[in-house]
Amino acid sequence: MSNLFPVGILSGGFNPLQAPNAPTNITATGGDQSASVSFTAPSNVGGSAITGYTGRCNPGNIAATGSASPLTFSGLTNGTSYTFQVWALNSYGPSPAAGPSGSVTPSLTPIGLFAGGFTAYPSYINLNVIDKITITTTGNATDFGDLTITVQLVSGCASSTRGLFGGGTGDAGVVNVISYVTISTSGNATDFGDLGVAVSGTAACSSSTRGIWAGGSDVNSVPRSSIVYVTIATTGNSSAFGNLTVARSSFAGCSSPTRGVFASGFTGSASSNTIDYVTIASTGNAIDFGDTLTATYNIGGCSSDTRGVFAGEANTTNVIQYITIATTGNAIDFGDLTQGRYGVAACSSSTRGVFGGGRPSGGASSNVIDYVTIATVGNATDFGDLTAAREFPAACSNAHGGLA
């Protein structure tokens, strides 16, 4: 980028001696596919009052205009580094350029959603509420909207733009419903399509394009081994993917950009310590990965692009464990939740894992949200509270490890 005037702002009456001085103190702040560029207006406005400001970015030469600081640049590419220049305008023409600014890199705001679930004692009701958190901060969840049905034992997955919630047990029994939301826009869910069969207690994971549901129990409470998938950007019913190594329900899924992992579960007669994996882009049966620390079920899972983290066991321990997704092997102790509980849901950014809801031993449903830094083993830290105490909700995010 140079100090040459951008195309379109020079007029036939341009008089550099009457044009304003350049703005000063230009500073850029990155957002999601955007940047905000602030500056100080020039004290010397030239021969007439300033009528506005125009800016350009490098690369891309995208324009932004406004009457005052800051200028907002939209349509930028997340992960790309940009610098910015700004010109002041009056009736005689543009000032010299201000800048370039320091470089900034727009990035996605990591949003986590918790949906549905079951409120135990004293209410005993299924929920349809969807909660929203910003994963990089701490604080209580806020209302996002509602699912299409009230449901528990539901599971969720997501791309960077769309969150999907599938299966579960509704007020009338086990369902095959998949619903979706646009993560950046609060509002009620919309029908997406159907899972192959009505199934409850599945595990789900996703890449940037494909969502996968595995296992779960059918209407007769029989655990299944089936794995199905959808293309997240295209509404419609699921397609067959393959089978788990062990039929089971009430377990956890997570993913890297290429590999989906499913851990633990209930086989119908016993808890399982099995960890399976699939290559998300290629249909086929799951392959043995290793074992969790103990045989258990009712756990939640999330991941960075390299490490999967699982927590919230059937015996209400507070154990957190982890795996390296690219390398088969047994899980390793990570630390402890702030509160031992089962039936938690989990979501993540590329760096932080968040666990919400569940039920402590002998207690009512919990509204507790914990978080960990996925790359660093250690105990969880309090994040805030869900809008409603619940167990067996679903969770997803627009920035999990499967999207990296």
pLDDT at 7: 60
Tell me the pTM.
Answer: 0.85
- Residue 1 in this model has a pLDDT that exceeds 90: no
Poorest-pLDDT segment among 77-81, 115-119, 244-248, 389-393 = 77-81
* Residue labelled with tokens 């692009």: 305
Strand partners, 180: 164, 190
Nearest CA-CA partner of 143 in 166, 123, 127, 119: 127
For the segment 69-105, what is each residue's pLDDT rounded down to a tens digit? 999 999 999 889 999 999 999 999 899 999 899 999 9
Mean of pLDDT values over 223-245: 98
Strand partners, 291: 274
Biggest CA-to-CA distance, the chain: 87
What is the C-alpha separation between 112 and 349, in angstroms, rounded? 8
Per-residue confidence band for 15, with pLDDT thresholds at 50, 70 and 90:
confident
For the segment 176-203, what is each residue's pLDDT rounded down to a tens digit? 999 999 999 999 999 999 999 999 999 9
For the segment 313-338, what is each residue's pLDDT rounded down to a tens digit? 877 789 999 999 999 999 999 999 99
Nearest CA-CA partner of 352 in 368, 333, 371: 371
HSE-CB of 15 using CA atoms within 13 angstroms: 10
For the segment 248-257, what is each residue's pLDDT rounded down to a tens digit? 999 999 999 9
Q: Residue 372 to residues 98, 110, 129, 384, 390: CA-CA distances in angstroms?
A: 42, 15, 25, 13, 20
For the CA atoms of 34, 38, 42, 46, the dihedral, rounded to the nearest 10 degrees, stands at 20
